[in-house]
Amino acid sequence: TMMQWKAACALALLTGLVGLGCPLGPLSGGRLSGEVEPAPVDWLFVNEVDNCQVETRPSDPHSVNVWCAGVGSHPYLPSSMILGPKDPSEREWVRNVLDDPEVRLRVGRVVYELQALRLEPGEEYDAARSALESKYELDPAERDADREIWIFRLEAR
């Protein structure tokens, strides 16, 4: 039928895109494609895009779409602020970063080779979280108290 044909085409397209290494929505991908450039000094430009893609586990690349915010000289990635597991260590990309902090971040068509550092609670964590909440229009008063949020600072290798 026409409906089955459309479903088969959609599945083929989805499989093809994931096969190219691109994460698609909530589906993970592999190695990110794009022009590799040196890390910039100022990361405020990431505030102009909705999402970035992070690639972890260099030995067997795993990439996902993530939220990101730029604060001065660093981009910041949260583990999960509203959806998914409430325990950050239940996310595959987070576990990968804990095992090996080398990551690649794609913003638009450009890939940056970086390393991730988990922030401890404090001034930098609060500034990064505030930037993320502002960018994604999250009201801290409506926060799920059971959700633990880890934030990673990315820096040049």
Grade residue 10 by pLDDT with cuts at 50, 70 and 90.
very low
pLDDT given at position 67 = 96
Is a pLDDT exceeding 50 seen at residue 131? Answer: yes
Provide the 10 A C-beta neighbour count for residue 139: 7
DSSP H helix total and E strand total for the chain: 3, 8
pLDDT given at position 125 = 97
Q: Which of 14-18, 39-43, 69-73, 110-114 has the lowest mean pLDDT?
A: 14-18
Q: Are 155 and 74 in contact (CB under 8 A)?
A: yes
Average pLDDT over residues 127-139: 96
pLDDT given at position 13 = 45
Higher pLDDT: 13 or 88? It is 88
Is a pLDDT exceeding 80 seen at residue 103? Answer: yes
Grade residue 84 by pLDDT with cuts at 50, 70 and 90.
confident
Q: How far apart are CA 80 and CA 43, in angstroms?
A: 21
Higher pLDDT: 25 or 155? It is 155
Q: Are 11 and 22 in contact (CB under 8 A)?
A: no
Rounded to two decimals, what is the model's pTM?
A: 0.83
pLDDT given at position 130 = 96
Q: How far apart are CA 134 and CA 120, in angstroms?
A: 20
